C-alpha cells in the first residue's frame, strides 16, 4: 500500500475543557498518512484516479469549523472516522497537535491509526 501525506494541516476549532477555551478558536496541526494505491494515477497521470488531498484537507477544515470538542482524542477519532468513510480510504494514521497547550512544550498531541 502506498501512502499519501498531508503534513501540518493548520485548522482552527473550538477545543478544550476549560470555560475560556469553549469561547475561542484554537489552532490544531494535523499530520495525515493515508493509505492508497497510487499506481493507477501514476500510470495515467490522471487526478481522478488518486486520492485528492486538497479535497481531504478542505473536508477536515470544514469539519473543524462546524464542530466543537473538549479533547484532542475526540477530535482525532471523529476526524479519522469521517475521512475513512467519505473517501473510502482503507487505512490512515492521524496525528493531532495542539500548540501552546503546555507552556513548556511546543505542542501536545495524539497519534491514532485506523483501518476501514
pLDDT digits (tens, 9 = 90+) for 17-62: 999 999 999 999 999 999 999 999 999 999 999 999 999 999 999 9
Residue 97, CA distances (Å) to 46, 65, 85 in order:
33, 16, 23
pLDDT score at 101: 87
pLDDT score at 110: 98
- In this structure, are residues 68 and 15 in contact, taking their beta carbons and an 8 Å threshold? yes
Q: How many residues does the chain have?
A: 116
Tell me the CATH number at 95.
3.30.1130.10
pLDDT score at 44: 96
pLDDT digits (tens, 9 = 90+) for 87-106: 999 999 999 999 988 999 99
Report d(CA 73, CA 81) in Å as an integer.
12
Whether residue 22 lies in the annotated active site:
no
Structural domain of 83: 2-115
pLDDT score at 89: 96
Residue 83, CA distances (Å) to 1, 3, 14, 30 in order:
17, 15, 20, 13
Q: What is the number of domains present in the chain? A: 1
pLDDT digits (tens, 9 = 90+) for 63-96: 999 999 999 999 999 999 999 999 999 999 999 9
Catalytic residue among 35, 96, 98, 109: 98
Residue 48 has which C-alpha cell? 481522478
Amino acid at each position: 500500500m502506498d501512502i499519501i501525506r498531508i503534513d501540518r494541516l493548520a485548522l482552527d476549532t473550538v477545543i478544550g475543557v476549560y470555560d475560556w477555551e469553549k469561547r475561542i478558536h484554537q489552532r490544531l496541526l494535523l499530520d495525515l498518512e493515508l493509505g492508497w494505491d497510487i499506481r493507477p494515477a501514476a500510470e495515467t497521470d490522471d487526478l481522478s484516479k488518486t486520492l485528492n488531498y486538497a479535497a481531504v484537507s478542505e473536508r477536515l477544515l470544514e469539519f473543524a469549523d462546524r464542530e466543537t470538542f473538549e479533547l484532542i482524542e475526540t477530535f482525532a477519532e471523529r476526524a479519522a472516522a469521517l475521512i475513512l468513510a467519505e473517501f473510502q480510504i482503507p487505512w490512515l494514521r492521524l496525528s493531532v497537535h495542539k500548540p501552546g497547550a503546555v507552556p513548556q512544550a511546543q505542542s501536545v498531541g495524539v497519534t491514532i491509526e485506523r483501518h476501514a
